[in-house]
Amino acid sequence: MPADKVAEYADGLCYTDLMAGYYLGASDEVLQAIADFSAWFFVWDDRHDRDVVHDRATAWRQLRFRLHAALDAPTAHLHHEDPLVAGLADSVGRLYSFLPGTWNARFARHFHAVIEAYDQEFRNRVEGRIPTVDEYLALRRLTFAHWIWTDLLEPSAGCELPDAVRKHPAYRRAALLSQEFAAWYNDLCSLPKEIAGDEVHNLGISLITHEGMTLEEAVDEVRRRVEECISEFLAVEKDVLRLADRLADGTVHGKQLGTAVRDCVENMRNWFSSVYWFHHESGRYMVDSWDDRSTPPYVDNEAAGEK
């Protein structure tokens, strides 16, 4: 974004507000790092979109490799010529400072997969290929970074959760539902923009193309899935809270772990309200006010990253 567009649009996009409503209880340092990473993620998403629209395959491939490298060695990329690469290095470098190396390695592994999913999306869009519903749902879990936002619950709670907790069926299901809600509600709100831009990645578009639904039927189906995420989360949340109670076994460690799990599931719940608010307050989705419904007015079409 050019400086004048930053001044005009940045606050209205509400990127950091979204994170502030999700990671309640995090220290100021942790919350600032997560908020900066979130803002970076949205900018990366827009760069990716412009590279597709302008058929900048070389620029995208170069950026993809640089992001992988910055994720593995953030310190070495803090002053990279591409501010998007430097921004990732700065963000993850701070995120890596809060919890042990095992958490850092997991976060990096999850984000490497997100970068590769964006590459798959790039190829699908260039080829005009609309994935089937099942293909789309699997890809969306990566491009929306489900497990990244779930990982970030832990530094917010000040505690790395052991595998036995993170992989517990109730905890994992609650985390997945909070993210599925967010991804599918995003699809619902961004559908007008993405249809206008001949997009291929949206649950509604996959339902129309592969399930033979009308636009109205597809909207109803996405809404139904969103509502099911809410009702199912409310049921499984109780199981996670019971897990937290069992973990608090009277020991100091048990109390700490039980409190962390309770904090994490409470913030999963916050994701629903924060995402709902964001999509109705952020200028990112107010397509009716744009001159071109397919292109946000704050996007810079310069060939960034091709130098």
How much of the chain is helix, strand and coil, in % rounded to 5? 75, 0, 25
Among 140, 166, 262, 284, the one annotated catalytic:
284
The residue that leads in pLDDT, 83 or 296, is: 83
Among 122, 144, 233, 278, the one annotated catalytic:
144
Give the CA radius of gyration of the chain: 19
Q: Is the pLDDT of residue 266 over 90?
A: yes
Express each pLDDT in 136-149 by its tens digit.
999 999 999 999 99
Give the pLDDT of residue 5. Answer: 82
pLDDT band with cut points at 50, 70 and 90 for residue 304: very low
Give the pLDDT of residue 301. Answer: 61
The residue that leads in pLDDT, 14 or 67, is: 67
Please provide the DSSP assignment of 233-268 as one string: HHHHHHHHHHHHHHH--SSHHHHHHHHHHHHHHHHH
Say what percent of the chain tops pLDDT 70. 97
Q: What average pLDDT does the structure give for the chain?
A: 93
Residue 145 Cα distances to 160, 185, 302, angstroms = 19, 15, 27
> Rounded CA gap, 207 and 236, in Å?
27
Give the pLDDT of residue 227. Answer: 97
> Rounded CA gap, 261 and 241, in Å?
8
233 is catalytic: no
Express each pLDDT in 33-73 by its tens digit.
999 999 999 999 999 999 998 999 999 999 999 999 999 99
Among 42, 64, 172, 293, the one annotated catalytic:
42
37 is catalytic: no
Give the pLDDT of residue 305. Answer: 45
Give the pLDDT of residue 193. Answer: 86
Q: Is the pLDDT of residue 175 over 50?
A: yes
Would you give the distance in Å from CA 138 to the centre of its chain? Answer: 14
The sign of the dihedral angle between the CA atoms of 16, 260, 70, 144 is negative
284 is catalytic: yes
Give the pLDDT of residue 291. Answer: 79
Among 37, 41, 107, 278, the one annotated catalytic:
41
Give the pLDDT of residue 300. Answer: 66
Evaluate whether 157 touches 260 at the Cβ level (below 8 Å).
yes
Express each pLDDT in 68-108 by its tens digit.
999 999 999 999 999 999 999 999 999 999 999 999 999 99
